[in-house]
Amino acid sequence: MFYVDKRLQFPVRVETPNPVFARALQQAIGGVEGEIRVAMQYFFQACGARGNPKYRDLLMNTAAEELGHIEMLATAVALNLEGAPLSLQEEAAADPVAGAVMGGINLKNLLSAGLSAMPVDSDGVPFDMSHIYASGNIAADMGANVTAESTGRILATRLYNMTNDPGMKEMLAFLIARDTMHQNQWLAALEELGGHETVYPIPNSFPQSEENQDFSYAFLGFQRDGSEPVQGRWSEGASIDGNGTFTSRPMEPMGEEPNLGPARENSGAQAEQL
């Protein structure tokens, strides 16, 4: 279960409110690379963690941290929206960034939320919980978490580059550092699970003898002209999982032309299809 402390994890201050930057920050709250996503992803992964209970702890702790990050960002959005124009007439005068206009802010932050943050992305699209990946496979989950933190850190650096506000840069420098740690943390968990040669292919509990092993380590080319596909680490040498050797070749069809036959009576098809 969860408890709260009234204080923020890290100070949030805005020297010059900028409602266009508030719109950009919304991506870090409700975008697919944002903090709602990681908070809820770690939380649901924890709730479904089977096997060694240490991963449940690891995940639930970081979920708690990410909830605090949403809180920081939501505060930052509200502070940046102070001073946003409330009428189309005052906009030229009131707007702190020359050239930024009413149209440049996310109108829902004003119309729906009264100058506060919302669980939406920078275009006002609500976050959708289908982005919570919790597979029941601890290695796949850790990999998904590295990915989430990678795109999260990319986003945070883009936001950092977008603003000159010292308070905002300070907050983002903290969040970027946490993303550095979290990338490393989930990679460390994968290492603890045995590293590449133990972990992959995920799931490692499925016997590879049952897969069609002629195609397990073959890089296939689909160039129309039948040319050899582009070469690289993926086309020769030992496979990364250590269980095979990479080869490469152009691919030709092995199946037939599919034919579903005529449609059934009463299935709503056109008479010509029966």
Which pair of tokens denotes residue 172?
């983002």
The Cα–Cα gap between 114 and 108 comes to 8
208 near a second copy (CB under 8 A): yes
Tokens 């069609």 appear where?
Answer: 212
Give the distance, in angstroms, between the CA of residue 235 and the centroid of all CA atoms in the same chain.
Answer: 29
Residue 126's φ and ψ, nearest 5 degrees, are: -65, 145
24 near a second copy (CB under 8 A): yes
The answer to the question of whether 65 is labelled as a binding residue is no
Q: State the minimum distance, in angstroms, from the CB of residue 270 to a second copy.
A: 5
Pick the binder of a second copy from 14, 35, 38, 155 (CB under 8 A): 155
Buried b (16+ CB within 10 A) or exposed e, 240-250: bbeeeebebee
The Cα–Cα gap between 160 and 37 comes to 20
52 near a second copy (CB under 8 A): yes
Count of residues binding a second copy (CB under 8 A)? 196
38 near a second copy (CB under 8 A): no
Site for a second copy in 81-140 (CB under 8 A): 82, 86-89, 91-92, 97-108, 110-140
Cβ nearer to a second copy, comparing 4 with 38: 4
Rounded to the nearest 10 degrees, the angle between the axes of helix 54-81 and helix 35-47 is: 160
Q: State the minimum distance, in angstroms, from the CB of residue 38 to a second copy.
A: 13
Pick the binder of a second copy from 14, 33, 35, 38 (CB under 8 A): 33
Q: State the minimum distance, in angstroms, from the CB of residue 153 to a second copy.
A: 6
Pick the binder of a second copy from 14, 35, 147, 166 (CB under 8 A): 147
Give kind and range of the element (H or E) at residue 163: none
80 near a second copy (CB under 8 A): no
212 near a second copy (CB under 8 A): yes
- The SS3 call for residue 258 is coil
142: nearest Cα among 184, 80, 186: 186
259 near a second copy (CB under 8 A): yes
The answer to the question of whether 196 is labelled as a binding residue is no
Site for a second copy in 224-243 (CB under 8 A): 224-225, 229-230, 232-234, 239-241
